[in-house]
Amino acid sequence: MKIVVGFPPGGGTDLVARALAEQLRKASGRAVIVENRPGAGSNIASDAVARAVPDGNTVLLGGNFSHAINPHLYTHLTFDVQRDFTPLTRVNYGPFLFAVRKESPIHSFTQLIDQAKSAPGKFTYGSSGNGTPQHLAGSWLEKTTGAQFLHVPYKGGAPAVMALLGGEIDFLAGSIAVLSPQIAAGALRPLAVTSAKRWPTVPDVPAMLELGVQDFDLYIWLGLWLPAGVPSDKLAELFAMFRGAIESATVQEILTREGLTPSPSESPEEFAAFAASEYALWGKIVKSSGARVE
């Protein structure tokens, strides 16, 4: 069996894939490898799995980027995320976090919005690139609050964080996993999480709804997909295997250590419904942003 990942070795998604592969090897005795096929925002990996034989031996580790954002962002895809895949289970999910550096004169989310409205386009936010979840979260912030910001894309999440720390940009939307170490070290100040309610791992950070922002319940998540056409008995077998791996103490510890909240689905059908709702939500956000990739 192979777990296909759309990013290079060493990143967060790759780490999750390798943790799952190791746990599956221990639990089942099967050979499980991780195959990295980076490029095109994970579309190369998605295409490889969509074309694979549906025998249960090829699994994609994707997420909102691959199955909720890219279908609306990219003009030409060689696959259809709703037709060419069998949803298996969600792995984890969590909100974005808006943060400023500790030296910033901005001390609250409300202050950021108020000052941005008084000076449209003055305040800058960074992301890991055009059309990425971080960029779209910032764009949706403009839509839902009426504030106007200047988007500054970087070539990856790490350069964007370094730009924030260096004062090149005013704020950033990032995952809790990425920003928490800098917040714990006192280098960054969190302003808000993009969930409707406060998030357990950062309970002191206010949520969007309590800040008066409606229709802003956004999450970063990972999930697993098989090619379309996997027999139902094989699907049930794989769901039990992967859910067991996600719920294992070893994988839970790794995910939690990385700032990720384990959240396996109750069934493949539940995950399919969740992915469909996210597809519709992010489609609306991509359309609002005007972002497109040829």
In 30-108, where does DSSP find H-type helix?
A: 43-50, 64, 70-73
Average pLDDT of span 212-238? 96
Q: What is the pLDDT of residue 49?
A: 98
More confident position, 24 or 258: 24
Contact between 70 and 43 (Cβ < 8 Å): yes
Amino acid occupying residue 264: P
Average pLDDT of span 207-225? 95
Residue-range domains of the chain with CATH? 2-93+220-289 (3.40.190.150), 94-211 (3.40.190.10)
Q: What is the pLDDT of residues 66-105, one digit of tens each?
A: 999 999 999 999 999 999 999 999 999 999 999 999 999 9
Q: What is the pLDDT of residue 260?
A: 86
Give me the percent of the chain exceeding a pLDDT of 70: 100
| Three-class secondary structure of residue 219 per DSSP | strand
Q: Which residues contact 3 (CB under 8 A, 6 or more apart)?
A: 17, 20, 21, 32, 33, 34, 35, 59, 60, 61, 224
Q: Which residues contact 244 (CB under 8 A, 6 or more apart)?
A: 27
Average pLDDT of span 51-70? 97
Q: What is the pLDDT of residue 75?
A: 93
Tokens representing 223 are 């999930």
d(CA 15, CA 2): 14
CA 59: distance to chain centroid? 18
Averaged pLDDT score across all residues of the chain: 95
Residue 258 has pLDDT above 90, yes or no: no
Q: Which residues contact 150 (CB under 8 A, 6 or more apart)?
A: 121, 122, 123, 124, 125
Average pLDDT of span 149-168? 93
Q: What is the pLDDT of residue 177?
A: 86
Average pLDDT of span 177-185? 91
Average pLDDT of span 105-133? 95
CB atoms within 10 A of CB 215: 13
| pLDDT bracket for residue 276 (50, 70, 90) | very high
Residue 117 has pLDDT above 90, yes or no: yes
d(CA 264, CA 242): 9
Residue 178 has pLDDT above 90, yes or no: no
> The dihedral of CA 174, 178, 184, 185: what is its sign?
negative
Give the angle 113-115-121 at the CA atoms, nearest 5°: 85
Q: What is the pLDDT of residue 3?
A: 98
Q: What is the pLDDT of residue 257?
A: 83
